[in-house]
Amino acid sequence: IQVKKSRKVKGVRQKLKLFRASDPLKSVIMWGINYSMDQLDHVNKRTMLLPDDFKSNLKVKVDNHLFNKDSMPSKFKFKEYCPLVFADLRSKFGIERTEYLDSFIKRQPQYDASQGRSGSKFLCTYNRHYVIKTIGSEEVEQMHHILQAYHGYIVECSASTLLPQYLGMYRATVEDTEYYLLVTRCVFSPRLKIHRKYDLKGSTIDREASEKERSKELPTYKDVDFINTKERISIGESQKHRLLLTLRADVDFLQRNNLMDYSLLIGIHDLQIGGGFEDDPEAEDDAGLGSGNEGAAVSPPSAAAAAAAALQPVPEDSGDDERVFGGDGASPESPSAMGEGGGESGGGGLEPGRSFRYSAFLGNLDPVFERYGVQSSSRQLVYFLGIIDILTSYGVRKRTAQTYKSMKHGYNNENQLSTVRPEVYARRFLEFIDACIE
């Protein structure tokens, strides 16, 4: 009798991508961005966007989700607004698909301690390249309202701008709570620590950091503080001319679209103090969740050595900073962006072949992830400048606020209020920033 041997086969569960995070919202963000990018891969690329693209959306509803329940809820929704438009904007800003996706899904984003207007929260990707801001429905509506004009302006100026670089807008519904999310590029460097920070509007009424703000490790100072400390942005005449040229074009765009209440965010890195982010984002912790202090940068091996190299004088019109204020969106894969060959020349972007692992700063700014940066004429400081909070229109609410503040502070001080007509706001803003730069 022939006996047939039976063989036991052990079932192996199919490997699925894990989106481990410390709370459900982060996991849904990671899952949703991965899903939306995957769906975009199946859409034929067009050379020109259509009007309907500015009204479109991509959404998904997940019910009875059984996988990875420790981190992800069993029911959630995710929606991306105008996916083709934001994909085109990312391309215009020189952001590669893989780099953008990896920034969100490789490791969980981290909450920033600071809060924005109306209690909005900020999350930063582990490599410090992108910021996710929670926004309200009014800002979503305003973003839809200006998106077509904003896209046209970015195309027109070849992405050479100090405006926020809007890269994606999403809605995540978790545990019956809706979160509207807006993704922008970080203004500050992912490798250099900021030692002083200012938020300037050109107004001097109620524009001073509070005692609570001053007690923070890195407080955000305001216009009155900037004046009282006699701070100056010293970048030389040539760079000042280029900066103001870009700034005037950006402010003109904001004024034409009836927008006001924006600020110029300034971060200052002092090379004499030095310092960078010491964590290595390539290293995974045991739990795969991250410690909350993850960085994308490596501090210089010697702050003094880096400062000495960076302080070498260069001719003011050497052309090194032509691309400082936005540039043409250099690809992250380009040699200049990756820092290839930068060892002897003092280059210093990403180390060759090592995504998100930065080399020491030796004098040159990275053309992609430090595109908001400009060095001082003395080469002792590095400034990072960008316009923020541009989604406030001069409507009924702001007119009412202007009337109330005028009565409170007196009509003689009306033009110094933070809430004024867009044309007044734009003129005062440019005059103040002009006076701050030398």
Question: Could you give the residue numbers annotated as active site?
Answer: 133, 261
Burial of 389: CB neighbours in 10 Å, binned 0-12, 13-18, 19+: middle
CB distance 370 to 323 below 8 Å:
no
Q: Sign of the C-alpha dihedral, residues 42, 45, 46, 50?
A: positive
Q: Minimal CA–CA distance to 325: which of 209, 437, 194, 172?
A: 437
Tell me the residue length of the chain: 438
Which residue has tokens 């080469």? 379
Residue type, 181: L
Task: Please tell me the distance from the alpha carbon of residue 228 to that of residue 44, in angstroms, as a whole number.
Answer: 56
Which whole-number Å values give the CA distances from 186 to 53, 119, 164, 167, 189, in the listed order?
A: 26, 19, 9, 11, 7
**Three-state DSSP class for residue 42:** coil
Q: Which two tokens stand for residue 225?
A: 């503080």
Question: In sequence order, what DSSP letters do the residues of 338-406 get, joined into one string?
Answer: HTTTHHHHT--SBPTT-TT-BPPP-S---TTTTTTEEE-TTSSEEEEEEEE----B-SHHHHHHHHHHH
DSSP string, 109-152: -EEEEEE-GGG-EEEE-TTSSEEEEEE-HHHHHHHHHHHHHHHH
> What's the rounded Cα separation, in Å, for the pair 201 and 426?
9
CA 105/CA 126 separation, integer angstroms: 10
Question: Maximum Cα–Cα distance for the chain, whole Å?
Answer: 110
Helices 137-156 and 83-92, axial angle in degrees (round to 10):
40
DSSP one-letter code for 414: G
Give the C-alpha separation, 56 to 48, whole Å: 15
Please calculate the CA angle 356-372-297 and round it to the nearest 5 degrees.
25
What's the CA gap between 87 and 85, in Å, rounded?
5
- Count the helix, strand and coil residues of the chain and give each as a percent rounded to the nearest 5: 35, 20, 50
